[in-house]
Amino acid sequence: MTVTIDTPIGAAQTMVLNMGPQHPSTHGVLRVILDMDGEIVVKAQPVIGYLHTGIEKSCESKTYSQVITLTDRIDYLCPLSNNLGYCLAVEKLLGLEVPKRAQYVRVLLTELTRVASHLVWLGTHAIDLGAMSVFLYCFREREEIMKIFEFVSGQRMMTSYFRIGGLALEPPTGWLDKVKRVIDAMPHHVDEYETLLTKNRIWMARTKGIGMLSKEDAIAMGVSGPLLRASGVPYDVRKAFPYSSYEEFDFDIQTSDGCDCYARYVVRVAEIRESLKIIRQAMQKVPAEGPIRTEAQGIVPPAREEMKTSIEGLIYHFKIFTEGFAPPPGEVYQAIESPRGELGVFVASDGSNKPYRVKFRTPSFVNLQSLPNLCEGRLIADVVACIGTTDIVLGEVDR
Amino acid sequence: MASQENAKNPVVQKLREWDAQAVAEVIEFRGETTVVVPKEHLKRAAEYLLSEPSLRFTFLSDITTVDRYPLEPRFELNYQLLSMDRKERLRLRVKLGGKDPAITTVTSVWPTANWHERENFDLFGIRFDGHPNLTRIVMPDEWEGNPLRKDYPVEGYR
């Protein structure tokens, strides 16, 4: 990719430094072209597209249900959030109401995803700044959450567990005990990370006052998620536009006025604790029995029993898995709060069995745009902290 | 698609009061409001929606194109707006013809539009006049064609 940089000649002599796309601290294949004046970054220019796989184009040649497996692959740290965003968008298009039990299970699992995703962020951000042990601790706990996903959906990462109209499978017996064991241990682990980092002088020196993003800039740049909340804007899609019964849960929006990397660390750690709170409430709410899928003939596959015993069930089963279903023509935009911010799914239907256009408004893509605001005028070593703090997933940036 | 000319949405009424020319059509679907704006009014309408104290659409979530090939006007640009103070969303839609599709940029209104517009330029070939850096963003610079257009071949050798 050719990039032109206007280098001022005379007063300041600048050097162009190419960072990435193969660089351990860029969390994937991000390339940043830095215009350096000595150690100071004069201009930062993110270059993306190295991981572009054309997911949106692929969606147009798949039936509505088949797209779900593609959504996993957009952001591989929170596949369940992507599943949820897409399923909710199609359910909105169809006008489907999902049974309460499925909604609570969805909330529980997406919050677990948020915890897992924040743990990966914390671990990798800490290792970028030289704190090796935090990385090992975080991945240890994340592994336990991955085991829950595997137990429930059969897959550690590419879960595809949420389906249009509900869930893919009945959650296995005893899954809530496993969840309980993990989240009972979590607060202690989070304390452990905090003892290592929160009052750590090196950590504070590396993150306090670094990567400043003012409230006005954050909104103007379209930044969302923890990045926005760390700039003092109490905006959370779960509160502003509740979906999947979030209005029934008691939790707070975590904000900070710090506007720097440290504030983002504080907000994300507090969000892990809030998520644990939501998971505990969800465990109370999930009924032991009840439907996991809504009943909608020709849209949601019939129960296994019905498929095996009734002719209509078999016909619908066959039709759904061969030709899919056709929602009414129209467009919907459904946003959810993914671990990284507002994940918006825009689905346009032309009345056929394949989506006419699917657009994922991914938070990483928009948040990354604010990187020059964060690191221009700062030292080159801070660029690493700034990239880490935006919590980007390149799969999601490039799609 | 349910289309109502006399929508009760207060935002739409405000827009109509401000300039009846700026509202070509109002579409209500699944509780979402889409206002179709003639392309020459887009930037003015954007500035109004941002600065009007009772509206305050300060946050631009997304810009998406839908290609209606072979219909004309072929491209539909959807601007997803959000008012954080009032917890309300609104979608602006602009229709562009297939021959040399171009529209004024809104980067001066919402700076976040920069990358969104580059993405639409890259994948749909829509030109945004006045954009500070209108280059390809996800595809390589030397790429030919615009992959998300409906007439872009999806099979065979290039």
Minimal C-alpha gap between A88 and chain B (Å): 12
Is B89–A329 a contact, with Cβ atoms under 8 angstroms apart?
no
Pick B139's closest partner by Cβ from A49, A335, A366.
A49
Asked whether the beta carbons of B80 and B40 are under 8 A apart, the reply is no
| Interface contact A56, partner B, CB < 8 A | yes
Is B138–A48 a contact, with Cβ atoms under 8 angstroms apart?
yes
pTM for the full predicted model: 0.90
Give contacts of A219 with chain B, Cβ < 8 Å.
Answer: 58-59, 84
Q: Write the pLDDT tens digit of every residue in A284-310.
A: 988 888 888 888 888 888 888 888 899
Reading the block at residue A24, the tokens are 């351990």
Q: Write the pLDDT tens digit of every residue in A340-380.
A: 999 999 999 998 999 999 999 999 999 999 999 888 888 88
CA-based angle A166:B61:A368, to the nearest 5?
100
Asked whether the beta carbons of A381 and A362 are under 8 A apart, the reply is no
pLDDT for the residue A349: 92
Domains of chain A (ranges plus CATH)? 55-398 (1.10.645.10)
Asked whether the beta carbons of B46 and B109 are under 8 A apart, the reply is yes
Rounded-to-10 torsion of CA B118, B124, B130, B134: 40
Is A365–B84 a contact, with Cβ atoms under 8 angstroms apart?
no
HSE, side-chain direction, 13 A CA sphere, residue A353? 13
Instruction: Give Cα A181 to chain centroid, integer Å.
Output: 24
Mean pLDDT of B133-151: 88
Is A333–B91 a contact, with Cβ atoms under 8 angstroms apart?
yes
Is A331–B137 a contact, with Cβ atoms under 8 angstroms apart?
no
Give contacts of B110 with chain A, Cβ < 8 Å.
Answer: 220, 222
ω into A242 cis (within 30 of 0): no
Domains of chain B (ranges plus CATH)? 10-129 (3.30.460.80)
Minimal C-alpha gap between A59 and chain B (Å): 11
Pick B80's closest partner by Cβ from A57, A240, A333.
A333
Mean pLDDT of B18-35: 85
Is B59–A222 a contact, with Cβ atoms under 8 angstroms apart?
yes
User: What are the Cα distances from residue B93, in Å, to A331, B65, B81, B90?
Assistant: 11, 9, 11, 10
Which secondary structure element, helix H or strand E, spans residue B66, and what is its range?
strand B59-67
Low-confidence ranges of chain A (pLDDT < 50): none
Between strands B32-36 and B88-96, the pairing is parallel
pLDDT for the residue B3: 46
Is A369–B112 a contact, with Cβ atoms under 8 angstroms apart?
yes
Q: Write the pLDDT tens digit of every residue in B58-117.
A: 999 999 999 988 888 889 999 999 998 888 899 999 999 888 899 999 999 999 999 999
How far apart (Å, rounded) are the C-alpha atoms in residues B99 and B105? 18
Pick A365's closest partner by Cβ from B59, B64, B115.
B115
Is B112–A222 a contact, with Cβ atoms under 8 angstroms apart?
yes
Task: Tell which of B25, B27, B28, B30 to mutate to test the A interface (max A CBs under 10 Å).
Answer: B30
Pick A359's closest partner by Cβ from B64, B115, B139.
B64
Between strands A330-338 and A341-349, the pairing is antiparallel
User: For residue B7, what pLDDT band results from cuts at 50, 70 and 90?
Assistant: low
pLDDT for the residue B63: 92
pLDDT for the residue B1: 42
Would you call B16 exposed, middle or buried from its count of C-beta atoms within 10 A (0-12, 13-18, 19+)? middle
The structure tokens 């162009």 sit at: A16
Is B30–A329 a contact, with Cβ atoms under 8 angstroms apart?
no
Whether B29 shows a pLDDT value over 90: the answer reads no
A163-177 exposure pattern, b = at least 16 Cβ within 10 A, e = fewer: bbbbbbeebeeebbe
